[in-house]
């Protein structure tokens, strides 16, 4: 089993895309994603580089107080996760998931909706360890 994150829009403010949980060629689950824009992999203001990363579920941390997905060996970065968030302002380099895209806070940018529910569904499907491909 693996996750594919496909980025479709980077408008310089945020990056939007889709996430699919794959079992071979079968799609088990899909949702939308929200990330920071590409800013040269600069910590705290950029999404991570495209690539394939080992990932695992980890318990709650101080930064993320619930079980979430941790991406390992991201070049020049640490603490990169997949977690729930609705707005790009809630991100520091991680990937947020949601059901759909909408301008929830009326700031002119698309946010992701129903992140908590979507994240719960994602966590119920993925195993403890797997790979995440970001492209």
pLDDT of res. 123: 98
pTM: 0.97
Burial group, residue 3, by CB count within 10 angstroms (0-12, 13-18, 19+): buried
Give 84's contacts (C-beta < 8 A, 6+ positions apart). 66, 96, 97, 115, 116, 118, 119
pLDDT at 64: 94
Domain of residue 103: give its range. 2-134
* Terminal CA-CA length for the chain: 17
**Residue 100 backbone zone (phi > 0: left; psi -120 to 50: alpha; other: beta):** beta
Question: Per-10-residue mean pLDDT for the chain, 135 residues long?
Answer: 97 98 97 98 97 98 95 96 98 98 97 98 98 98
Q: Please, are residues 53 and 132 in contact by the beta-carbon 8 Å criterion?
A: yes
For the chain, what is the domain count?
Answer: 1
């Amino acid at each position: 089993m693996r996750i594919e994150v496909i980025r479709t829009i980077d408008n310089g403010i945020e990056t939007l895309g889709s996430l699919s949980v794959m079992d071979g060629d079968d799609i088990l689950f899909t949702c939308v994603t929200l990330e920071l824009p590409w800013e040269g992999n600069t910590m705290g203001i950029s999404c991570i580089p495209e690539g394939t990363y080992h990932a695992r579920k980890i318990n709650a941390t101080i930064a993320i107080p619930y079980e979430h997905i941790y991406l390992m060996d991201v070049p020049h970065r640490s603490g990169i996760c997949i977690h729930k968030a609705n707005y790009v302002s809630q991100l520091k380099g991680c990937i947020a998931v949601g059901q759909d895209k909408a301008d929830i806070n009326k700031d002119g940018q698309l946010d992701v909706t129903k992140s908590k529910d979507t994240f719960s569904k994602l966590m119920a499907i993925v195993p403890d360890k797997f790979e995440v491909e970001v492209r």
